[in-house]
């Protein structure tokens, strides 16, 4: 829990204190006087460095944990997140007071810092526990500030908790997070956030002709689902659709993955998870927007019923697709998701997916590969990414890649084509299902959706990548 403190000054706190500090900036005089000695040489002020000082009974609390912020002129959102994350991870107390004002600069006021700390304490404090493990005791953070920062704290908490919920979905073992489980979660989120929900079963998918989703689903013992959530916060304005890939486990189908390639394939539904995270932020913050969440979800498995290479699937759009790689399945469910979003009337579509290993080769784990068919829409999204401090890098769409995909002798398209530029080819495949006049962005989060290392801001596992940015697009 995090809240604004009623304390006028941290020296009156009964709980231990967290205190951010810049190089060259004085420590609070009342704090120095209370301790009775100069702290200047005791504290490592380099960014993210932690120094714990015990008060030895001279103040009502037993210790102060300082975190270095480096040089004031060099501080960034990333730097503050790293420092706040280090504070949260180093804290062992159940109740703590945060002196947020000491982190103020001309660029970051109390309101921005309070929101950022609230968001960061949720994300940095997140830990995916073992299944059925007892919940950890909650930590209470009281933030001391002179301004009224209650609304800022609430905003930060919503952001951080929504990202964490997306991370938990991505971290769940696939036998605990099937397409049916994902649909149940979406319905509960809809009830909590007062969203409209519609869940299409296989029977309904057959009725509308969603051959991409059903084709990938053929090898699974479990049915597919097409999850639709609707948020109406802007009257009669046009809708934007967020379309998330929901492959809850990807074996590769008959283009079977290697043993190493199977690891973490429970997280092949992070696109879906992060769309749900974005919808949670949008709804709980009551943003003025009209938004659909569209989530096609299935497993990609092997059985006697599974789809094969050389099969031809008829998409929801009625375009036909020859299967050249059963491990290029994400684009097959997304093509129907994109079409369904447009059938519902969405004029802007963002799809997000752990789509290609090629994007990792191109951009590594730091940048989300981004494709767009409209300059204005891309600029708006780029600004949202900057506000959310999430890195994107635009990659090309080109008719050469479209021509590669139109090489089938038995169908309109092939679903995969060797020859390099794998991320662009996959994006161009999806673009084939975007109607003229629809503004569209594709996010390939194969590199950014899952992290194998622990850092001051996060822990190993799903990251919730782009959930904040998708929500920030509507925060106007």
Catalytic sites, residue numbers: 257, 331
DSSP state, residue 377: H
Name 458's bridge partners.
455
DSSP state, residue 268: G
Distance from C-alpha of 470 to C-alpha of 351, rounded to nearest angstrom: 10
Q: Give the residue from 372, 308, 295, 369 showing the smallest Cα distance to 336.
A: 295
Distance from C-alpha of 299 to C-alpha of 263, rounded to nearest angstrom: 15
Kindly tell me the burial class for residue 132, based on how many C-beta atoms sit within 10 Å of its own C-beta (0-12, 13-18, 19 or more). Answer: exposed
Distance from chain centroid for Cα 178: 19
Distance from C-alpha of 283 to C-alpha of 393, rounded to nearest angstrom: 28
Name 353's bridge partners.
444
Answer yes or no: are the C-beta atoms of 370 and 394 closer than 8 Å.
yes
**Residue 474 phi/psi, 5° resolution?**
-105, 5
Distance from C-alpha of 291 to C-alpha of 217, rounded to nearest angstrom: 27
Q: Is 146 annotated as a binding residue?
A: no
Q: Is 250 annotated as a binding residue?
A: yes
Distance from C-alpha of 349 to C-alpha of 351, rounded to nearest angstrom: 6
What token pair was written down for 464? Answer: 């919730």
Distance from C-alpha of 66 to C-alpha of 83, rounded to nearest angstrom: 10
Q: Is 451 annotated as a binding residue?
A: no
Q: Is 245 annotated as a binding residue?
A: yes
Question: What residues have CB less than 8 Å from 361, skipping those under 6 apart?
Answer: none
**Residue 36 phi/psi, 5° resolution?**
85, 15
Q: Residue 320: which H helix or E strand, with range?
A: strand 320-322
Distance from C-alpha of 183 to C-alpha of 248, rounded to nearest angstrom: 11
Q: Give the residue from 36, 44, 1 showing the smallest Cα distance to 19.
A: 44
What token pair was written down for 293? Answer: 């969440």
Question: What residues have CB less than 8 Å from 285, skipping those under 6 apart?
Answer: 155, 158, 471, 475
Q: Is 380 annotated as a binding residue?
A: no
Strands (E), 29-107: 50-54, 63-68, 95-99
113 C-beta neighbours (distance < 10 Å), count: 26
Answer yes or no: are the C-beta atoms of 53 and 64 closer than 8 Å.
yes
> Among positive and negative, which fits the CA dihedral 317, 319, 323, 325?
negative
Annotated binding-site residues read: 245, 250, 268, 327, 329
Annotated binding-site residues for Mn(2+) read: 245, 250, 268, 327, 329
């Amino acid at each position: 829990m995090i809240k604004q403190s009623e304390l006028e000054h941290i020296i009156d706190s009964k709980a231990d204190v967290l205190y951010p500090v810049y190089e060259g900036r004085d420590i609070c005089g009342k704090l120095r006087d209370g301790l009775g000695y100069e702290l200047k040489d005791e504290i490592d002020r380099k960014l993210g460095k932690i120094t714990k000082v015990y008060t030895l009974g001279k103040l009502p609390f037993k210790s102060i944990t300082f975190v270095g912020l480096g040089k004031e002129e060099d501080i960034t959102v990333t730097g503050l997140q790293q420092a706040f994350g280090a504070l949260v991870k180093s804290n062992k107390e159940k109740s703590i007071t945060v002196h947020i004002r000491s982190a103020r600069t001309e660029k970051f006021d109390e309101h921005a810092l309070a929101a950022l700390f609230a968001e960061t304490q949720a994300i940095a404090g997140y830990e995916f526990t073992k299944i059925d493990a007892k919940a950890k005791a909650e930590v209470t953070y009281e933030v001391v500030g002179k301004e009224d920062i209650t609304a800022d704290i609430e905003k930060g908490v919503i952001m951080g908790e929504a990202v964490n919920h997306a991370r938990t979905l991505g971290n769940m073992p696939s036998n605990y997070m099937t397409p049916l489980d994902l649909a149940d979660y979406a319905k509960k989120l809809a009830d909590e956030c007062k969203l409209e929900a519609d869940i299409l079963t296989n029977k309904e998918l057959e009725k509308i002709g969603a051959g991409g989703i059903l084709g990938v689903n053929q090898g699974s013992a479990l049915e597919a689902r097409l999850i639709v959530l609707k948020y109406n916060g802007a009257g009669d304005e046009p809708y934007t659709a967020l379309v998330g890939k929901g492959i809850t486990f990807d074996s590769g189908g008959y283009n079977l993955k290697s043993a190493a390639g199977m690891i973490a394939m429970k997280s092949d539904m992070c696109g879906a998870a992060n769309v749900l995270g974005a919808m949670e932020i949008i709804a709980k913050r009551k943003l003025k927007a009209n938004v659909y969440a569209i989530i096609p979800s299935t497993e990609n498995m092997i059985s006697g019923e599974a789809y094969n290479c050389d099969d031809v699937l008829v998409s929801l759009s009625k375009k036909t697709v020859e299967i050249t790689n059963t491990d290029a399945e994400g684009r097959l469910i997304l093509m129907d998701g994109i079409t369904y979003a447009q059938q519902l009337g969405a004029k802007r579509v963002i799809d997000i997916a752990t789509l290609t290993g090629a994007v990792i080769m191109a951009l590594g784990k730091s940048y989300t590969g981004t494709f767009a068919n409209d300059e204005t829409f891309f600029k708006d999204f780029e600004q949202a990414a900057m506000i959310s401090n999430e890195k994107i890098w635009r990659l090309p769409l080109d008719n050469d890649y479209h021509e590669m995909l139109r090489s089938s002798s038995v169908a309109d398209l092939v679903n995969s084509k060797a020859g390099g530029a794998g991320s662009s080819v996959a994006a161009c495949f999806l673009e084939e299902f975007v109607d003229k006049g629809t503004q569209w962005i594709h996010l390939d989060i194969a590199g950014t959706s899952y992290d194998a290392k622990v850092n001051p801001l996060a822990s190993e596992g799903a990251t919730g990548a782009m959930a904040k940015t998708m929500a920030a697009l509507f925060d106007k």
